[in-house]
Amino acid sequence: MIVFNPIGYVRHHSDDVPRHWTVSDIEGDLDILPEYQGGLVDISAGQRIVVLFHFDRSPSFEKAHLRQKKRHTNEIKGVFSICSMIRPNPIGLSVVEVLAVQGGRMRVKGLDMFDGTPILDIKPHIEADRRAENESTHPVT
């Protein structure tokens, strides 16, 4: 059994949440729980971060969901080739822009998650042009 515990929660006041982060202008907060706030120390405004979250309001996955209609084209696709929230492991991924960091609260832009969504992890977003820089500072042995 694999168990995840939230490190925080998404907070915003928008009723209309876009289907994907690439088309979102929603601003809101990532409220990180006190025991994890020390991990935010090197995150700053202007940075992009990857947020892994739990699709906590997704319907239960059933074998019939292995193939689903793609929302905008009605094509039948395999679940692993689309961004459906109905997945074997209901884990979502979004890239958001950090607007400000104050204590355990990060103000971000580009949310595609509902208010109250549990955050599972945060990772740096490494763009292709920065990949060489990152590889040179973290050599593989």
CA distances, 99 to each of 17, 106, 112 (Å): 19, 7, 16
Residue with tokens 């979502």: 92
Would you say residue 2 lies in a domain?
Answer: no
105 and 31 Cβ atoms separated by less than 8 Å: yes
Would you say residue 37 lies in a domain?
Answer: yes
Residue 138 has pLDDT above 90, yes or no: no
45, two tokens: 């405004």
Per-residue pLDDT at 71: 74
Residue 132 has pLDDT above 60, yes or no: no
| Amino acid present at 5 | N
Q: Cα 90 to chain center, whole Å? A: 12
Would you say residue 1 lies in a domain?
Answer: no
- The continuous run of DSSP H or E covering 119 comes out as strand 118-124
- Domain count for the chain: 2
| Amino acid present at 43 | I
Residue 141 has pLDDT above 50, yes or no: no
Same domain assignment for residues 81 and 23:
no
Q: Considering only CA atoms, which of 76, 130, 106 is closest in space to residue 12?
A: 106
Between 129 and 72, residue with greater pLDDT? 72
Q: Where in the sequence is the domain holding 31, given as residue range(s)?
A: 8-55+91-137
Would you say residue 41 lies in a domain?
Answer: yes
Same domain assignment for residues 65 and 125:
no
Same domain assignment for residues 76 and 15:
no
Q: DSSP state, 94?
A: E
Distance CA 72, CA 91 (A): 21
Would you say residue 3 lies in a domain?
Answer: no
Domain of 102, CATH number, reads 2.40.30.70
Between 80 and 50, residue with greater pLDDT? 50
